[in-house]
Amino acid sequence: MNEFSIQQLTIFGVGLIGGSLAKALKKANYCKTIIGCSRNEAHLKRAIELGVIDDYQLNPTEAVAQADMILLAVPLGAMETVLNHIKDTLQPNAIITDVGSSKASVIEAVNKVFPQGYTHFVAGHPIAGREQSGVEAAIEDLYVGRRTILTPLDTTDKSAIQAVRNMWEAAGSIVEIMDVEQHDKVLAATSHLPHLLAFNLVDTLSKSKESEDIFRYAAGGFKDFTRIASSDPVMWRDICIANRTAILEMIAEYQNSLEQLAALIEANDAQGVMDIFSHAKQARDCFVKKFEELATI
């Protein structure tokens, strides 16, 4: 029996997410060969220098010709293009998976490229990240103790699902299965809305006539809250468009809550404001406690 669970993993988009998975799998001795593919040769050469990948290809068809596992770690808007490039040169049992933050849009792209359905595509999303981007930001323990959500369809090959599960577990992740629509709603609330708020707040304040003083005297709270506004704008632009329905629902819900808080402040309702803040503190403290308990498992 071969010691490697994956013979060749081909990663499209060797940045923070794809690069961190590659480093984790290398540490686990899980793949025989890891190939990177993108249009940026200098970036791929840097990935080799850092020991993230073993080799690279600029031609997508050549990159997947021998691959038994393919990871799409590109912006959501590029998924369909990559799939079109590789569809005719896949090995018969090659497995394709992705890391996109919106699952419905990725599955839609797969169905456009493979009209009869592709049973070896397993939609996935690791719930982990950093505000830094690029291969230099990749770390081998990014996924340790973090959840990865898989959203396979009823038609998805069970062995393919298991192979993708095994890969993420080898990287230290806790794998869960979730319905596509539920995933997109949950992520709109817990990830997409916070990023939009951070981007929007920084953009708003930067355009204020007092912006110089605002940023000069900003303290740790501002830095902590706006940290994720340093994330990749291209990636988050694509997420907004891909998951727009769920995101717009969350924006509307948040706007309603913000208007209620503003009304309490305007009415000088100290107790009403206190009730909201106390409930929020209790909810977050409970979340942090559960998160810390999970990290110790």
Look at residues 261, 287, 285, 258 and name the one whose alpha carbon lies nearest to residue 272. 261
Residues 109, 218, single domain; the answer is no
My answer on whether 205 and 224 are in the same domain is yes
- 158 and 214 housed in the same domain: no
* pLDDT given at position 282: 94
- Which of 135, 162, 178 is the last residue before a domain boundary? 178
Q: What is the mean pLDDT of the chain?
A: 92
Tokens 């596992």, residue located: 69
pTM of the model: 0.85
- pLDDT(172) > 70: yes
Domain of 111?
A: 6-178
pLDDT in tens, 224-241: 888 889 888 988 999 999
* Structural domain contains residue 276: no
Does the residue 1 lie in any domain? no
Q: Could you tell me if residue 147 is inside a domain?
A: yes
21 with 126, same domain: the answer is: yes
Q: Are residues 46 and 153 in the same domain?
A: yes
Which one, of 170, 77, 69, 78, lies nearest residue 126 by Cα? 170
Kindly state whether residues 262 and 126 are assigned to the same domain: no
Are 129 and 238 found together in one domain? no
Q: pLDDT-derived band of residue 287, with 50, 70 and 90 as boundaries?
A: confident
Look at residue 293 in the predicted model and tell me its pLDDT.
65
Q: Is residue 142 part of a domain?
A: yes
Mean pLDDT (whole number) for 125-143 = 88
Q: How many domains is the chain partitioned into structurally?
A: 2
* pLDDT at site 27: 96
Q: What is the 3-state secondary structure (H, E, C) of the chain?
A: CCCCCEEEEEEECCCHHHHHHHHHHHHCCCEEEEEEECCCHHHHHHHHHCCCCCEEECCHHHHHCCCCEEEECCCHHHHHHHHHHHCCCCCCCCEEEECCCCHHHHHHHHHHHCCCCCCCEECEEECCCCCCCCHHHCCCCCCCCCEEEECCCCCCCHHHHHHHHHHHHHCCCEEEECCHHHHHHHHHHHHHHHHHHHHHHHHHHHCCCCHHHHHHCCCHHHHHHHHHHHCCHHHHHHHHHHCHHHHHHHHHHHHHHHHHHHHHHHCCCHHHHHHHHHHHHHHHHHHHHHHHHHHCC
Q: Are residues 152 and 215 in the same domain?
A: no
**Residue 146 belongs to a domain:** yes
- Residue 52: name the closest of 68, 73, 66 by CA: 73
Q: Are residues 136 and 197 in the same domain?
A: no
User: What are 60-118's pLDDT values in tens digits?
Assistant: 999 999 999 999 999 999 999 999 999 999 999 999 999 999 999 999 999 999 988 78
Same-domain pairing of 194 and 229: yes
What is residue 222's predicted lDDT score, i.e. its pLDDT? 86
- CATH classification of the domain holding 93: 3.40.50.720
pLDDT in tens, 236-275: 999 999 999 999 999 999 999 999 999 999 999 999 999 9
113 plus 200 within the same structural domain? no
**Would you state the pLDDT for residue 1?**
36
Task: Provide the β-strand partners of residue 70.
Answer: 10, 96
